[in-house]
Structures are given as structure tokens and as C-alpha cells.
């Protein structure tokens, strides 16, 4: 029986205040709380609250046959620089999920679907049963993304791969009037899914939750599309909805996925260049993670929290200097006037944090 697996990424970055050289040594509050609140309120009003209400309505209407999954995380790049810090963050995140929701996560999804063989092995050692990644041709070859696989070197862990074409039809192309398939209706989209007839098929549709109402405005018809979609998909009696964990548990691996180099779902390259593709980004990341021994030695919760906040991948994303289509996307999300401004602002903050760490505890920086 083919399974449809909807997963939504929920993420809002901690935006930094404009921090000049003259603030170093004087101002130790780095976040732009007012802007963070303004944007969170806007996205909640346009996306989170109406989308939550609609999903609950659909779950009730279809008596639990409609199922979705969410990822809520801090979006760190620690796995690329510090295995120790990465493991600490994963364990801390798991504790937070248990505290808030009373659930233990069974599926591992890393920042922007960053993935490679070593990350899969770490996730397996941490007890996860499923991991998510981008279904790109680089690791699939001629195989389909619509099946469950086993990561190379793992014995129990299973991997689900995003069908990026079908996912991006909703996330990016839905309101594009120049798209040959515009307008996209729930009936048309469901027909595309129903053509995937393999009994063992798992169709993984992963996208930003902000697709609904924020990236695709209500005026585009995105909520009407979502409201009609489960019924259209379930109209075919052989199709069902499953969470990633359910889909992985219910299907045997169709083969092995070997991915020695890091991939992601970002930009045309689908690698880590969205965050580490230029000298500014690499310099900022190197400076940040070189502070780890001093931060841990300090043993001060506030300093550790601030250091981890500065690991959020968005800070490096704002420094990206890509052009063409990818550059347009980066500029849309960038609160700074340029990547260079983002870099200077970030490095000023790192300078101040570094000075604060070196000060004896209890003394002003």
C-alpha cells in the first residue's frame, strides 16, 4: 500500500541586533527582541495559527487517517565542526521535546536536511530509528526517492528521502503563474501521486511549514488546496498517510544509500555552500567554534546559551554571496543590507563575546 509522508519544518531564527564596533565591550545583549517578536507574531497570524487549526480540522474529519509530522529545532551547524557539541545539542533537544510534548523523537532530521554517512551513524548510535535526507540523484543514481533505504554502514537505521520535485511543486511553484502546471489543484496533485503505484512506495513530501500562508499567501489559494488535499489522496483506496517513523517501520529497505560527502536541501547545489560557501562564512564559523573550549571551561549557563544561539545556521546564511535564483532567495530572507554587513555585524558580536569569556566571572567586560 503506497504511503504519503507529510513533514513540515518549523523554524524562526533569532535575529541579531545591529551591532557596531563601538558596541564591543559595552553592549552584551545581541538579539533584536523587538524584530524577533514582530516577525514571529506575523508568521503565527499568517501561518501557524490558521494552519494548525486547519490540520486539526482535517485530522478530525478523516478520523486520524490524515497524519503529518513536524520538526522544531534550533538549526545549528555543530555537526560540521564539533561532534561533542553536536551530540550535546541533540540530547538537549530530545529532552526539550519530552518536556513540551511528552514524546520521545524516533526520527532524526538535521538542519536543512544536512546529511552524510557519518551523520547517519551518529543518529543510529543515539537511538534513532529513522533519518531524513534529500532525494537527490547524486546519491540515488537511477533509483526512485519513493522508497525506504538503509544508510551505508548502519544496521538498524532507515532513511526516507524527500521527493524534491513533488515537494517543491507546493513549496515554491504553487503560485507561479509562469509554471506550465499553474494552477495546481488538489485533484491534479493527487493524480500525480496516484500514478506512483508501487505497493512499497513511500512518497516523502517535506517542506517549510511557513509554505502555508507566509511563503504562499492565503490569496494564492494555498489553504483551500491543503483543505482539499487529504480527501483527494484518500479517494484512492490503496493510499494512506503515515508519519516518517510509521513509514520506515512498515517498509523494508529497498537498498543502501551511500553518501560520504555532506548534502542538504538548500539551493541548486544541495550541499553546505549556502552557509559555508565563501571566505566570510568559513571565517565566521571557524571563529565561533574555536571558542568552544573557553565557553565550556567558563561553565556559565548564560555564556553557553549565547554561544549556542550564535550557532544558528541563519547567521551564516545571511553572509551568502550567491547570485541568480539562489541569490534572490537569500536576499529575501536576509535582514541585513548585504552579506558583508551581516558578516561584520556577526564578527563584532563574536569579538564582544570572546572578551566577556576572558573576563573573570562577576567582573564587567
| CA gap 303, 352 in Å, rounded | 12
Confirm whether 252 is a catalytic residue. no
Alpha-carbon distances, residue 71 vs 75, 162, 243, 316 (angstroms):
10, 14, 12, 21
Cβ neighbours of 199 (radius 10 Å): 8
| CA gap 365, 362 in Å, rounded | 9
Alpha-carbon distances, residue 145 vs 99, 165, 344 (angstroms):
34, 10, 41
SS3 337: coil
Are 331 and 339 contacting, i.e. CB atoms less than 8 angstroms apart?
Answer: no
- What DSSP element (H or E) covers 39? helix 33-43
Alpha-carbon distances, residue 123 vs 96, 109, 113, 154, 156 (angstroms):
17, 9, 13, 10, 11
C-alpha neighbours within 13 Å on the C-beta side of residue 80 = 24
The two counts, helices (H) then strands (E), for the chain are: 16, 9
Catalytic residue among 85, 112, 214, 246: 112
Task: Give the active site residues.
Answer: 112
Amino acid at each position: 500500500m503506497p504511503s504519503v509522508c507529510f513533514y513540515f519544518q518549523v523554524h524562526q531564527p533569532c535575529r541579531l541586533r545591529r551591532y557596531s564596533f563601538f558596541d564591543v565591550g559595552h553592549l552584551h545583549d545581541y538579539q533584536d527582541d523587538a524584530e524577533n517578536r514582530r516577525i514571529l507574531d506575523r508568521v503565527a497570524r499568517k501561518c501557524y495559527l490558521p494552519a494548525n487549526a486547519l490540520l486539526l480540522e482535517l485530522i478530525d474529519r478523516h478520523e486520524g487517517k490524515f497524519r503529518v509530522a513536524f520538526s522544531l529545532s534550533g538549526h545549528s551547524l555543530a555537526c560540521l565542526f564539533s561532534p561533542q557539541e553536536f551530540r550535546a545539542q541533540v540530547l538537549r533537544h530530545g529532552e526539550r521535546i519530552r518536556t513540551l510534548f511528552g514524546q520521545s523523537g524516533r526520527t532524526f532530521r538535521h538542519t536543512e536536511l544536512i546529511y552524510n554517512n557519518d551523520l547517519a551513524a551518529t543518529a543510529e548510535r543515539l537511538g534513532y530509528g529513522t533519518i531524513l535526507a534529500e532525494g537527490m540523484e547524486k546519491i540515488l543514481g537511477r533509483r526512485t526517492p519513493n522508497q525506504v533505504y538503509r544508510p551505508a554502514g548502519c544496521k538498524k537505521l532507515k532513511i526516507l528521502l524527500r521527493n524534491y520535485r513533488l515537494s517543491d511543486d507546493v513549496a515554491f511553484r504553487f503560485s507561479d503563474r509562469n509554471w506550465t502546471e499553474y494552477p495546481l489543484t488538489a485533484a491534479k496533485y493527487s493524480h500525480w501521486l496516484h500514478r506512483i503505484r508501487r505497493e512499497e512506495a513511500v512518497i516523502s513530501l517535506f517542506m517549510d511549514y511557513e509554505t502555508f500562508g507566509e511563503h504562499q499567501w492565503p490569496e494564492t489559494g494555498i489553504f483551500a488546496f491543503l483543505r482539499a488535499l487529504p480527501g483527494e489522496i484518500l479517494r484512492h483506496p490503496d493510499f494512506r498517510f503515515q508519519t516518517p517513523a510509521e513509514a520506515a517501520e512498515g517498509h523494508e529497505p529497498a537498498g543502501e544509500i551511500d553518501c560520504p560527502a555532506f548534502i542538504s536541501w538548500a539551493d541548486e547545489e544541495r550541499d553546505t555552500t549556502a552557509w559555508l560557501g565563501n571566505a566570510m562564512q568559513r571565517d565566521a564559523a571557524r571563529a565561533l567554534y574555536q571558542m568552544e573550549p573557553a565557553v565550556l571551561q567558563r561553565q556559565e549557563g548564560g555564556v553557553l546559551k549565547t554561544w549556542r544561539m550564535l550557532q544558528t545556521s541563519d547567521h551564516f546564511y545571511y553572509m551568502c554571496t550567491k547570485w541568480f535564483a539562489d541569490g534572490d532567495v537569500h536576499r529575501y530572507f536576509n535582514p541585513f543590507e548585504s552579506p558583508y554587513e551581516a558578516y561584520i555585524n556577526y564578527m563584532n558580536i563574536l569579538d564582544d563575546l570572546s572578551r566577556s569569556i576572558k573576563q573573570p566571572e562577576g567582573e564587567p567586560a
